[in-house]
Each structure stands twice: as C-alpha cells, then as structure tokens.
Amino acid sequence: MSDKVGVLVLAESGPGVLHQLTGVIAARQGNIASIEIIEDRPSGASIYFEVELPEPPEGLIQDLRALAVVREANVVNTLQKVYGKRVIIIGGGAQVGQVAIGAISEADRHNIRGEHISVDTIPLVGEQPLAEAVRAVARLPRARALVLAGSLMGGDIEKAVREVRAQGLLVISLNMAGSVPEAADLVVTDPVQAGVMAVMAVADTAKFTVARLKRRTF
C-alpha cells in the first residue's frame, strides 16, 4: 500500500524545471496527488508535492537532490495531516463571522480529540463574485463543506451550488431570501448552528450524518 508524503523542493526557476521534478517522481513509481507552486521568482521556485509512494521517501529525496536544478528537497508533513479537512464559509461579513464562531468552536472540540479540521472564510457581495467563489471551492484541496452565509442569494449562485453538490461537496445555506436554500443540502436559520453542523458533518469523531436527517431545514 502506498503512503502519501509531503515533499518540499527549492529549485531554480525556469522552463522545464517542473518536468524534471515530476520525471524523478515518476521514476520512483510515485503518484502525484497534488502539487502547488508556492513561490516562483527569478531567484528560485518553491514547489510542494503530495506524493503516494510504494517505498520510503529517502530514495526519492536523494534523486531530487541530485538534479542540477534542485537546491534543496525535504520531506514535510502533508497538508492533510496538518490542516486536515476544510470548511469554507462565504457570504456577507456579519453572517460569515457568526458562522465562523460556531465552526471554529466545534472544530476545536473535535481537533482536541485527534481530528484535523480547518475553517476558511471570505466575505463577498454580488451575484457573480459569489457564484465564482462557490465554483472555486470545488477546486480547493481538502474542501469538504461549504456554508453560504447571507441574506439574499440566487440566480447564478444557485446554479453554482448545484454544480459543486454534484461534485460531492456538502453545501449548507443560511435560511435566506432567494433560491439558494432550495439548492443546498441543509438550510439552517441560526448562523452559529450552521457552523457547528458543518463541522459535525465532516468530522470522523462525530456521529452526525446528513443523509440520516429526516428534514433539511432547521
């Protein structure tokens, strides 16, 4: 069984560098689960990989360090291990803050028991910015749940909600005006409770399961 490891590489910046790095990983039968170019400047690039390897990572690190374009390569903890699952909160500033209070408090309770759940927020206004942000959540690594916190959301935001739900993302909406509540998995009136329920839904240490609820509005 392959183990996932984090690999942080400091390399020269330029065309073909990433190709050389991924070639070394492929030669070691590594499956790249995710990659992020943290920094790319003329002075050098910092590149983070999460790789599933069928062997201990020492051989891969040695091969990477042997490349002329590599200045340093090290094994680091994966972001899954450090930050874990992500709950994303999007919407109006006041509502986002209240949802965050519930989510952060509940995440703390589970993280003390060994979970790794992080909470991200972004206050936004306007149909298009909100719709674009909702669609982008599906592209965020480790995002498990989205909470839409606002007073009025509909139109293209509703379409975006249905799209990300089809991709497996849990969507919780505050009980607001507009068509978004009709498209969400859950509708919660109290913003603090919405944050708590979002975390409970993704936590392995919780017994709360959305699929077992007999109603979807609270």
**Distance (Å, whole) CA 105 – CA 192:** 9
pLDDT in tens, 35-85: 888 877 877 889 999 999 999 999 999 999 999 999 999 999 988 888 889
CATH domain 83-212 topology: Rossmann fold (3.40.50)
Q: How far apart are CA 110 and CA 116, in angstroms?
A: 8
Query: What tokens does 42 get?
Result: 């003329």
pLDDT bin (cut points 50, 70, 90) of residue 151 is: confident
- Position 215 scores a pLDDT of 67
Q: What is the pLDDT of residue 31?
A: 93
What integer best gives the mean pLDDT of the chain? 90
pTM for the structure as a whole:
0.81
Cα separation, 45 vs 59, in Å, equals 22
CATH of 3-78, one of 3.10.310.50, 3.40.109.10, 3.30.70.260, 1.20.120.530: 3.30.70.260
Q: Where are the domains of the chain?
A: 3-78, 83-212
